[in-house]
Structures are given as C-alpha cells and as structure tokens.
Structure 1
Amino acid sequence: MSEAKKSEWNSNFAFMMAMIGSAVGLGNIWRFPNVLYSNGGGSFMIPYIVSLFLLGISFVLVEYAVGYKFKKSIARILFTISKKLEPVAWFIVLVVFLIATYYVCVVGWDLIYIILSFTKAWGANPDLFFSSNVLQATDSLSGIFHFVPMVLASVFAIWVVAWLIIKRDLNDGIGRVNKILLPLLCLIVIGIVAFSLTLPGASIGYSQIFAPDWNALTNLNVWLAAFGQIIFSLSLGMAIAMTYASYLPDKTNLVDSAVTVAFSNSAFEVFNSIGIFSILGFMALTSGIPFNELVTEGTGLAFVVFPQVFNTMGGIGHIIGPLFFICILFAGITSLIALLEVVSYSISEKFDINRKKTTIMVCVIGFLISTIFTTGIGSTILGIFDAYLNNFALLFGILLECIIFGWIYKFDDLIETLNKNSKIKVGKTWKAVIKYILPICIFVFWIQGVYSTLTTADTLSVAIMLLLTAIVIIVPVILSKLPAANEEYYNTE
C-alpha cells in the first residue's frame, strides 16, 4: 500500500490552515487589486460575492466531497469511477505540475527582492533594473542558452525548501509549515495595512473600493472577471481540495469547513487590497502619477511599482519593503507545496513509491523544467506557459470535472457525504449549480480565454503552445497505460 495513503490530518485546524494556505497565494496579493479596480471598484464586489457562492464554494464542495469519500488521489479516484477517465486525472496532475514549475520561478524572483529590499538596490529605475539586472531579459531565441545565475540560484533554493517540506510526514511537513507561515503572513499583512492607512494620500487609494461604478454590473466581462478571480484565487480545478480532503478523518464537518476556507481567502484578498490601494494612493499623491497608471497586476506591481513606492517612503521603506516581499514569499510557499502534494500523492499511490523518493523525483524533474525560466528568454516563455495553462488547460480541467462528477458519477452520493456531519446542508440547488449553471459559465469563460490567448499569440507563443498541447495529451495517456505497482490501485470498491 502507498505510504501517502496512510496519512491523515491530526486535527481539523491543520487541514483548515493547509487549505487556506493553498488558496492564499500570489493572486490574492497582486492580481485581485487590479481586477477590483478595473471592473467597477466597489460594485465589483457584487459579482465577486455571487461568484464566490455560485462557483467558488460550490466547486470546492465537490472536491471536498470526492476526496473525503474516496480517500484516494485524483488519479485513483477517476480510475475507480471509470478506467477510461484515468487520462483525465493525469491531465489535471500534469497541468498542476507544469504550473508549479513556473510558479517556483516567480517565488524565486521574490526571494531575490527580499534581499534587495533592505538596501533598495533596484535604484531609481526599478523597471529597467528588473528586466535588465534581475531577469537579464532578451527577446532573442539565443537567450535560451544564457542562464541567469542569480535567478537560477534562487529557483534552486525554493525547490530545496519545497522538497524539505513535502518530503516529511503530512502533519510534520505541510501541516506544521502552514500553521507557522499563515499566521505570520496575516500578522505582517495587518501591520502593513495599518501602516498604509496612516500615509498621506491613503484615501485616494482605498476610496476606490468604496466608490462603485454601478454601470459595470451590466457588463458581461465584469462578471467573467469575477468568475476568473474566484477560479485563480481558490485554486479551483487543481485537485488541491480533493487531495487535502482525502487525508481527513471520519466525521469531519465538510460544508462548514469549505465555507470557512472560501470566506477566509476572500477576506484576506479584500483586506490586503485596502493596504495595496492605500500605498498606491500615497504614491499617486507624492509622485503626481495618476492612480490608474499605478494600478497593475502581476510582476509589474510587485517588482516595479512597489519598489518605486518604497523609494519614495524614505527610511521606513527599508522596513515595509522586506515585509511586503516576505508576504509574497510565505503566500507563494504555502501554495507551492499544495500544488506539489497533488502531484506527489498521485504518483506515490499508483507506483507505490514512498513519500521521500516521490518528492525527490518530482522536485528534481520540476527543477530541470524550471531552469528554462531562468534563462534570458525565460520570462517570455513563462508568460506563454501561464497564458496557456490558465486560459486553456486549467479551465478545461474544471469543465471536465463538472461533467464527470455532475453527470457520470452518482451525484446524490456526494450530497449524502457532505450532509452527513455538516450543520449547513446542501441539496437540489447545489446539484443544479454543478450540473447546469457551472459548466455553462466555465465553458463561456474557457472560450473567452482560448480566444484571447490565440488572438494575441505570436509565432513563438504558437510553437510553445503546440508543444504544450502535445505534452498534456501524450504524457497523461502514457501514465495511464503504465501498470500500477500498487495492487490496491485496481481495487474499485
């Protein structure tokens, strides 16, 4: 029997911390503020809350119920439902793994900036410093042969940290790290937000959250943006909730836990946005740069705009800067180990490899792939990976899960599983959401994502996307065809 299968959370608190830690990631810190501002400000909270209930909590409940009921990895769960579905599971696992390989790189950039922030080494032009000094970015294909030593070393360090965590027993590794890092992350964020509210011009920023544009509610793109934020923020479709729930002991209150995790994640990103907007308001006041030119997302916000802000803060920037980048590091690590646990559990269970050997294999292969993103053209390739995997592959996986668990599997069994020990009950409404409403919404969002990805793709992007398409089709088929070393894998009871 697989060693991973024997694992079990030693408390519901450990599970909750792990789930919240997996959800609270880079998207909460640098994606949500831009999405909020670009889609009606305060009025965006209406479609956001609707999406939280309709999509977020509903889909998390599916993964909770499935993981808790089967107590298996996603690969073995889908094999149990139907042998023909195993390639779908490995498709999802592979997508998660590929996302982890470039996610590590972004966390590695942040590790570099923690060190730089103590002296504000980025200088007066953080934009040029990030592209030229840190990434040493180039558009030339020859850049693939030029490794950036500083980035390579930081990526290696993050992989080592991830390996040291996930190779340990579930509770000693993932459980303990989340219990430590998540409270520390929350304390730092509270401190930053409290400080940001005292800055001159803070009201220029945070007033954006409380100044709704009601006309935005009639815009379909605003609603799609809300759905997209919930998908990325709660890490839906990555089988993380399914994997973590499979380690739960009997008599766990599933529905209440799912609601708590979803609301905790949303509360974090809304609260964090108050601090982000307040700091950007200060920047707008002191620099004269219009607020709308400061609000961006992703690496532009973290590694360009905020270093500019810290430059204008004077001495206090030497304190707030490191704390900000430490927040990103903690959020990145808790999300990363969740991604890797999904991959490790499926491999360990099918091929009967113990946890330590599995994690070594996953991390070594992952690091080798990650080295692509540490080259001169690595940031360009990273952007292509991100667009393809999030806009196409991940959404397609969520759509497949909705169809499998809503239509192929006996859905009423999931309702019974959820209601057994929960105070909050689910029923026909939830069933209708999963079977009808959610697939339609995801399909529309998927079509939009595929269209936007393809219409903006250049020759290099198309070539890499075609290669990724071949990989996510061929590798899952191979992994499905390989015989399981674990004899219990074929037990479908």
Structure 2
Amino acid sequence: MADKNEWGSNLSFILAMIGSAVGLGNIWRYPYVLYSNGGGAFYIPYIVAILLMGMPFLILEYGVGYNFKSSFAKAIRKINSKCEYLGWFLPVAVFMIMIYYSAILGWDGIYMLLSFTKGWGADPNTFFATTLLQSSESYMGLLNFIPLIAVAMLVGWVIIWFISHRDLEEGLGKVSKLLVPLLFIIMVVIVGFSITLPGASIGLAELFNPDWSLLGHFEIWMAAFGQIVFSLSLGMSIAFTYASYTKDDADLITNTISIALANSLFENFAALGVFSILGYMSLQSGTAVSELVTQGTGLVFVAYPTVFNVLGQWAVVLGPLFFLTVYLAGLTSILSTVEPLSFSIQNKFGLSRSKTMTILCAVGAAISMIYATSFGGSLLGFVDTFINQIALLFGVIVECIVFAWIFKAEKLVNFLNSKSKTIKLGKWWLIIVKYVLPIVVTIIWIGGMIDVFNNGTMDQLNFTIVSAILLLVASLIFTILPAKNPDWDKTEDRI
C-alpha cells in the first residue's frame, strides 16, 4: 500500500503546525527575551513583528506549499532548476536542528524520572553540569562517552521513529491531536499553581514592568522580529511541507491566524509561570529576580529543580508535570523537523515514507551520539547558534526572494482570498513579502553574523566553519545525485 502524505482533516494540519511552533523555545527562550527587552514595552514590537512578518510570511509559505503539493526541494526546482540547491539547504539545516534537539529531549527525559525523587540533589547546578553532562570545554571531551544520556536520547529516537514512519494522519496527525491539547492543559495547571506561590507577584511585577525608553533602541525591535522568526519556525520549510499535505478546501489565511495566536498565547502564558516561580525563588533566597533570570538550559535544568527542592510535597506533582510538558513540547517540535527532508527524499528518490523515515531516524540517532559526550553541551550551543543565527536566516532571505519574486506572490492573492473567511490579501501583503521582509530579515541576519564573529570564542568559530561545511556538502550531494523517481520533474501549478 502506498504511503499517504495528506492530513485527514484541517484540524490535524492546524494542531501539527501549532505543535511545531510550540517548542522548548517558548518555555525557555521567550520569557527571557520578554524580560530583557523592556518587559511590558516589548509587546509593542512583538505585536508589530507578528503582524508585519509572522503572519504574512506564513501565508506566503502556505500558499506556495499548497500550490505545488510537493516537497520543498521539488517545488524549488520547479520554480527555477538553478535554485534546487536551496531546496535541499533548508531541509538539511532543519534536520541538523533535529539531531541536537534530540539531546535536549534526552536530558529532559532523565529529569522527568529524577523529578519524582528530586534526584538532582541539593545543588542542581553542579548536578546538571558536572554529574550528568560531565561538561568539558575541551575537544578531548568528545572521547568521554556518557551511556545514560545516550540511552535517554535513543529512547527519544525510537518514539520519533514509531510516530513518523507511519502514514501521515495515522502517525503525526493522531499524535498532534493528542499531544498539543494535552500540552496546553498541563501548562494551564502549572501556571495556575505557580501564580499562587508566595512571591509570585514579585516576579510578575519584574516581568511586566515596562521600560518604555527601550522602544527607541534598535535592539528591542530586532529581538522581537528574531523571536517571531524562531517561534513560528519561519523559513524552515516546515510550514511549506505541512501546507503541501493539506486538503483542497483549506482556508490557509484563517489557519495562519489561528496558529500564530495559539503560539503567542502559549509562550506568553508560559512566561507567567516562569516569572511567578522566579518571584517565589527570589522571596525564598533573598536574591533579586534579575540575578535569577537565565536563558536556555540553565532555566529548565537548574532554576526549576532549585524551586522543586523547596516546594515540599507539591514538588512531587509539579516537577514531573513540568518536565513532561517540556518533553511533549520538544517532541511535537522535533517531529516536524524531519518532515521537509523526508518528503524531499521521497519525491526525488522514490522511497516510501516508512523507509525514508527509518533511514533518517537511524542516521540521525547515530550522528546525535556526538552530543552524548562531555563536549556535547558546548557543541550543542555552537551548532545551535550557527543554525539559528546564520544558516536559517540566510535561507529565509533567499526563500522570500524565490517565492515572492521568482514564483511571483501576486499569483497567490486571488486564490487565497477566495478561500479566506477572515482577512483578504491586497497590495499591502505584496509590499510586505517582496520588500519589507527581505530587508528586515537581512538586517537581523547581519546582526547575528556580527554577534557570532565578535563575541564567539575560537572554538565556536571553528565549529561554525565545520558545521557550515557539513551543511553545504550534504546539500550539494542531495542536489547532484540523480533522481530515481520519474515524476521528479512533473510538478504542476495548482493556482
């Protein structure tokens, strides 16, 4: 029986896209960005970024994806055969995210079990860095393999394979319908409890205390636009791929609004819980909230366990719930990162979905073991910075030019409007996707490049170069390999 790459319903598509957007970044990145960029004042550039970039770009990706009903690589080749390399560059970059994301998923799986007994001990910081990760900033750390982390990562890979190798609706569709609502429900429970903690108001006051003077600073606007790029997975070829799986009656503009609103609701709601807990920590320890705020793994694997250590009996319930939430958020996101490369391989080489996913999961699991070493944590940070601040943003710029200029975004307007029950597109949308978006993202990209080269260590620069070479070579190999599928060049415009 042939594999079916089509959503069973519009609900499956919406929930899968929400699951892709709602990830670890909403829980550990956004609260920090909100706090460090003017608190309540940040909402002005944040809302502008959603309206000016988030929604318009998603609509563009959805529209082109629906038009071709094919993989990203195949569609790019159809638009212009000279651009096929881009069609592989972005899916491979996103697959690289999947590989290191599996390490964070593994860490969280370990903490989910530890949370029942507070197994991280009295000093969560030392436990995370020294006992669990056995962190080393030396290359020699690559030689120190950590079996516990490897096993936790492999469990995650098995779960990913079990879901993704099935037909789309049977696997990812059904899982999204279960996990995404569950994710929101658990977050409501956690936030509901967190805001009742003594000292919660201290954290919330810090979070929402607006610093209006920052609105005149260029950085706060770039932070807002950068957050929307990462939060909504813009330009990662995921939205394009998911839209290519939709049924003919999909209202893509209304879907875009629903997905963007759900994502924003989740990350702002999560911020309430994070800062309520930081306020509680501040009250208990006598330390200012500003000294407790961290971004990334420090918040999830150090700050939260510190809170659970002093929560008493409630920690036995809240701890496992929290780490389950993080695991589900990571899982729904990581499942989306394999789709663009998988579908492109299926299209070009004529492999079944099941076989393609099995190969990709096996290859990804094998490569990911480099993160199950003492140098894994440092390496993860280097690769994450390169992918997010350099590779993906470059891909967004080029994708915007290919879709809006070479494909011609004008072709989408009448079709999308005919399906829309909400907003109608006009010249304003064309101006945004053809001019505003490429310029804004280019500015963010240049800023990210400058940051990496000015502030990065020599090790980071070396691994940035190595990561870039691997990405460029892998994309080139996929591009030059001869197609095995006779339908590879048979893609028709639907619009």
Q: TM-score range by the shorter chain?
A: over 0.9
Write the mapping of 1:63-82 to structure 2, written as runs, cut at 5 A.
63-82=61-80
- Whether the aligned pair in 2 keeps the contact of 1:9 and 1:171 (CA below 8 Å) is yes
- Output the amino acid matched with 1:264: A
Using the TM superposition, give the Cα deviation of residue 183 of structure 1 relative to its aligned residue in structure 2, in angstroms: 1.1
**Pairwise CA distance, 1:401:** 0.7
> Counterpart amino acid of 1:185?
L
Deviation larger for 410-419 or 216-225:
410-419
| Mapped partners of 2:408, 2:226: distance in 1 | 28
Q: Residue 156 in 1 paired to residue 150 in 2?
A: no
Does the Cα contact within 8 Å between 1:60 and 1:241 map onto a contact in 2? yes
Tell me the equivalent position of 1:488.
487
Is the 8 Å Cα contact of residues 35 and 208 (structure 2) preserved in structure 1? no
Q: CA deviation at 1:470?
A: 1.7
The alpha-carbon deviation at position 409 of structure 1 amounts to 1.2
User: Are 2:191 and 2:273, in contact at CA under 8 Å, matched by a contact in 1?
Assistant: yes
* Structure 2 equivalent of residue 169 of structure 1: 167
Pairwise CA distance, 1:405: 1.1
Distance 2:220 2:146 in 1: 39
- C-alpha contact 2:60 2:409 (8 A) present in aligned 1: no
d(CA) in 2 for partners of 1:224, 1:177: 35
Asked whether 1:430 is paired with 2:429, we answer: yes
Q: Is the 8 A contact 1:24 1:265 kept in 2?
A: yes
Given candidates 108, 113, 126, the residue that maps to 1:115 is: 113
Give the aligned length.
Answer: 491
**Consecutive unaligned residues in structure 2, runs of 5 or more:** none
Pair 1:106-2:129 in alignment: no
Q: Name the amino acid aligned to 1:459.
A: M
Mapped pair 1:448 → 2:447: yes
Mapped to 2, the partners of 1:397 and 1:416 lie a distance apart of 27
Aligned 8 A contact 2:235 2:392 in 1: yes
Partner of 1:464: 463
Secondary structure, aligned partner of 2:474:
helix
Specify the SS of the correspondent of 2:248.
coil
* Kept after mapping to 2: 8 A contact 1:81/1:409: yes
Partners in 1 of 2:335 and 2:396 — Cα distance? 21
The answer to whether the Cα contact below 8 Å between 1:398 and 1:442 also exists between their aligned partners in 2 is yes
The answer (yes or no) to whether the contact 2:206–2:289 under 8 Å persists in 1 is no
Q: Mind listing any 5+ residue stretches in structure 1 that lack a counterpart?
A: none
Is the 8 Å Cα contact of residues 42 and 208 (structure 1) preserved in structure 2? no
Alignment of 1:410-429 (within 5 A): 410-423=408-421, 424-429=423-428
- The C-alpha deviation readout for 1:364-411, integer Å capped at 9, x for no partner, is 111111111111111111111001111100100000111111211121
- With the length of structure 1 as denominator, give the TM-score of the two structures: 0.98
Find the counterpart in structure 2 of residue 36 from structure 1.
34
Question: CA contact under 8 A between 2:128 and 2:301: conserved in structure 1?
Answer: yes
Report 1:1-400 matches (<5 A). 3=2, 6-400=4-398
Whole-Å Cα distance in 2 between the matches of residues 242 and 92 of structure 1?
Answer: 11
- The alpha-carbon deviation at position 362 of structure 1 amounts to 0.4
TM-score norm. by structure 2 comes to 0.97
- For 1:214 and 1:139, the matched residues in 2 are separated by 39
| Cα offsets for 1:38-86 (capped at 9, x unmatched) | 0000110110010011111111111110111110000000011011111
Q: Is the 8 A contact 1:3 1:348 kept in 2?
A: no
Residue 210 (structure 1) shift: 3.3
Deviations 1:275-321 (A, max 9, x none): 11111111111111110111111100000111111111111112111
Structure 1 counterpart SS, 2:488: helix
- C-alpha change, 1:90 and 1:3, in structure 2 (3 Å) is farther
**One-letter identity of the residue aligned with 1:338:** S
1:3 offset after TM fit, Å?
Answer: 4.9
The two structures, once aligned, show a CA RMSD in angstroms of 1.2
Runs of 4+ deviating beyond 6 Å: none
